[in-house]
Chains A and B, each alone.
Chain A
Amino acid sequence: MEVYEDDGSWMWISFASNSRLIIAFTIGPRKQYVANELVKLTDDCLSKDKPIYVTDGLDFYKVALLNQYGLQIEYPRTGKRGRPKKPKIVPPDDLKYAQVVKKRKGGKLQKVEKKVIFGEDIEQSAISTSLIERQNFLPLTRQSTLKQFLADT
Chain B
Amino acid sequence: MGKRGPKSKFTDVACPNEACKDHGVAGHGNIMGNGTYQARNTTIRRYICHTCGKAFCDSINTFYYNLRKDESIIDLALNISMKGMSNEGTAEVLKIRPATLKRWLAFGAKQCDNVNATLMKNLHVQRIEMDEMWVIVKKNSSENGSL
Interface residues of B (CB under 8 A from A): 81-84, 86-87, 102, 105-106, 109, 120-138, 140-141, 144, 146-147
Contact = CB atoms under 8 A, between A and B. Distances in A.
A13 B133 contact: yes
Interface string A86-102: 00000000000000000
Contact of A54 (B87, B123, B130, B135): B130
Contacts of B130: 12-15, 38-39, 42, 53-55, 61, 132
A123 to B, nearest CB: 10
Contacts of A58: 132
Interface stretch (A69-77, A113-121, A138-146): A138-146
Given A150-B147, A152-B102, A16 B123 contact: yes
Interface of A: 6, 8-19, 21, 23, 27, 30, 38-39, 42, 45-47, 49, 51-56, 58, 61, 126, 128-129, 131-133, 136, 139-140, 142-153
Contact of A9 (B120, B134, B146): B134
